[in-house]
Structure 1
Amino acid sequence: MEYRRLGRSGLKVSALSLGSWLTFGNQITDKVADELMGIAYDAGVNFFDNAEGYAGGRSEIVMGKILAAKKWDRESFVVSSKVFFGAEPKGPNRVGLSRKHVIEACNAALKRLQVDYLDLYFCHRPDKETPIEETVWAMNTLLQQGKILYWGTSEWSAGEIMQAIVVAKQYNLIGPTMEQPQYNLLERDKMEKDYLLLFEEHGLGTTIWSPLASGVLSGKYTSGAAKNTRMDMKGMEWLKEAALTESRLKKAKGLQDYADKLNIPIAKLALAWCLKNPNVSTVILGASKTEQLKQNLTALEAVPLLTDKVMEKIDKIMGTKPGWSPF
């Protein structure tokens, strides 16, 4: 396993990590979740991603039980939570980024995950109803209390992240260390255009999610093997409608054909492509099956195969490269 600095921080995270959205406490059994975490950890994965809103908090409960049972050295893994959407039950002060919810959600996540502190704590979305100063101060309160080690954002615009950095500097506080954006061969603008100044001047780290575009780049939808996927889960109609468009599937088919010529599984190729970007600190893998995870954990092997010629061919097939992307 390769380990990368989380931006300019001193923290090292595995280049491949394991996430729990839609799987833990929902799509898979607790036994499978335990097996997945064991496989990942044994392969060198040290970062496990979670959030208060995943399965209404059940995802963190499942992960917490596994962490407690595994008895891994606390120094050997990095675990996260995110605040914004709230766990169950919902309430007026159980969502958003107010000081009250940011702090109470952290305390609740610590209990569910059965840890004394969170390595990473993300603002899961920007909150238009809470002053950014309030959120930055709340995060710094948690830092001072030792309940979190680093804080960051997820799916914030470059302008919103910059605003948080400016506020932190104004009050001599610690600003966001990392952002968790969606990044894959179909979604490239933020990582390759919008955030460039944040990478260059502020050393922002990234923990990217959906590297396979919700499975579109996994091969299952281009091979006709898509059965009982997350797209078929109740309440995920919105994801299916957004992900499985004719245009996206056509691009995926083109990538599948090229991967076949390279004799590489399409998922491995798509993951390696994400890993090649130097501004990616870690690629979060989602998995519902052990064999799926084992294969995807080999993605680093394919990075050296991505020559300039191969990268140019991929860009031509996908047609998604931002106009002035340096990547």
Structure 2
Amino acid sequence: MDLKKLGNTDLKTPPIIFGGNVFGWTLNEKESFKILDELLEKGYTCIDTADVYSRWANGNQGGESETIIGKWMKERGVRDKITLATKVGSDMGQGQKDISKNYILKAAQESLKRLQTDYIDLYYTHWDDDRTPVEETLGAYQQLIKNGDVKYIGASNLSPARLRDSLNASNDKSLPKYQVFQQEYNLMCRDKVEGDILKLCQENNVSITTYFSLASGFLTGKYRSKEDLEGQDRKDFVKDYLNERGKNILKSLDEVAEEHGISNAGVALSWIINRPGITAAIASATKSSHLKAFDEATSVQLTEENMEKLNNVSSIYI
């Protein structure tokens, strides 16, 4: 499998990154270990998590995903084989998002403890708190990097203005630079990347990784009516996609998938990783069979006609 470089770093990732939000939420520890073993065997060695995963599950406090990943890496002795990304800044019970220096320094140590590791490969600003100066946030990361706790940093969900300010501060004040930007991006949702964010990242050699790459499962084709959503965990995420545009996108996915003999999910992921400026797509799986779409996405050769069809039907300008 071809690996892709993340920004101006020595980190490399497969075109598909595994999203660890499912660990401790829809997968228990035993099920998580099974998926992690299979991912490593297949060569999907980049794992993306966050301190807040899976706080929304009943009875959870946050940190469950990191704890499971840490225990797995320790038991298997595979830390050196994994490119590990986690995040800071979400509400972990403090009542608000927080990317102040003191909070980041404290949260990083807690993540390291849960992950049972001495370092984090890629540490993301998960959400902006809209009040902390970018220089303060980057200064916290500078200290973590100096201490060897973190190798490189990334950002997620920042506005174009705050990302621009952060990149300028890195350049002007010799502070660490965000090497990767993570944002929602898929055939249903393109406008959060295409435009200012894409331009900024391309101009500054910042890699883009995408979350909700399958639009919370909608692009797999399993949700085609309101009835299909009843009783599903992702109902609130998907219900707004059941419109004419969504149905047309599914129809085009059906056609391209049939042409190549692969799943809709494989096509949807392949479309992302073949888009300009995109380094890798983040996707999750709860069953071994779901990982087949990862293999399909990284091996299929979509034609120019396939890409044009999907670009047109999902265009944000129509």
Q: TM-score, normalised by structure 1?
A: 0.87
The answer as to 2:98 corresponding to 1:79 is: no
What does residue 98 of structure 2 align with? 96
Residue type of the partner of 2:43?
Answer: G
Number of residue equivalences:
309
Alignment of 1:18-97 (within 5 A): 18-21=18-21, 23-55=22-54, 56-72=62-78, 74-87=79-92, 90-91=93-94, 95-97=97-99
The answer as to 2:8 corresponding to 1:8 is: yes
| CA offsets 1:156-209 (integer angstroms, 9 cap, x no match) | 122211100111222212211111111111122243322233233210012211
Alignment of 1:1-327 (within 5 A): 1-21=1-21, 23-55=22-54, 56-72=62-78, 74-87=79-92, 90-91=93-94, 95-222=97-224, 229-231=232-234, 237=236, 239-242=237-240, 244-247=241-244, 249-262=246-259, 263-302=261-300, 304=301, 306-320=302-316
Q: Report if the CA contact (8 A) 1:13-1:46 is conserved.
A: yes
Structure 1 residue 43 displacement after superposition: 0.9
CA–CA distance in structure 1, aligned partners of residues 203 and 253 of structure 2? 37
Structure 1 residue 318 displacement after superposition: 2.5
Q: Report if the CA contact (8 A) 2:269-2:297 is conserved.
A: yes
Structure 1 residue 225 displacement after superposition: 6.4
| CA offsets 1:190-246 (integer angstroms, 9 cap, x no match) | 4332223323321001221111111110111139866764315xxxx4x2444x442
CA–CA distance in structure 2, aligned partners of residues 309 and 102 of structure 1? 46
CA separation of 1:187 and 1:138: change in aligned 2, threshold 3 A: same
What does residue 59 of structure 2 align with? none
CA–CA distance in structure 2, aligned partners of residues 228 and 48 of structure 1? 29
CA RMSD of aligned residues (A): 2.2
CA separation of 1:287 and 1:307: change in aligned 2, threshold 3 A: same
CA separation of 1:138 and 1:247: change in aligned 2, threshold 3 A: farther
Q: Report if the CA contact (8 A) 2:12-2:83 is conserved.
A: no
CA–CA distance in structure 1, aligned partners of residues 44 and 69 of structure 2? 15
Structure 1 residue 10 displacement after superposition: 2.7
What does residue 57 of structure 2 align with? none
Residue type of the partner of 1:251?
Answer: N
Equivalent position SS for 1:180: strand
Structure 1 residue 280 displacement after superposition: 1.8
Query: Which stretches in structure 1 are left out of the alignment for 5+ residues?
Result: none
Equivalent position SS for 1:151: strand
Structure 1 residue 60 displacement after superposition: 1.0
CA–CA distance in structure 1, aligned partners of residues 15 and 215 of structure 2? 18
Greater mean alpha carbon deviation, residues 199-208 or residues 51-60: 199-208
Q: Report if the CA contact (8 A) 1:221-1:249 is conserved.
A: no
Indicate the percent of aligned positions where both proteins have the same amino acid.
Answer: 29
CA–CA distance in structure 2, aligned partners of residues 184 and 245 of structure 1? 15
| CA offsets 1:17-42 (integer angstroms, 9 cap, x no match) | 21112x11111121111111111111
Structure 1 residue 95 displacement after superposition: 4.1
Q: Report if the CA contact (8 A) 1:208-1:283 is conserved.
A: yes
CA–CA distance in structure 1, aligned partners of residues 127 and 50 of structure 2? 12
CA separation of 1:230 and 1:252: change in aligned 2, threshold 3 A: farther
CA–CA distance in structure 2, aligned partners of residues 4 and 227 of structure 1? 39
Structure 1 residue 286 displacement after superposition: 0.7
Query: Which stretches in structure 2 are left out of the alignment for 5+ residues?
Result: 55-61
| CA offsets 1:2-23 (integer angstroms, 9 cap, x no match) | 20010232321111121112x1
Equivalent position SS for 2:127: coil
CA separation of 1:240 and 1:219: change in aligned 2, threshold 3 A: closer
CA separation of 1:170 and 1:318: change in aligned 2, threshold 3 A: closer
Equivalent position SS for 1:191: coil
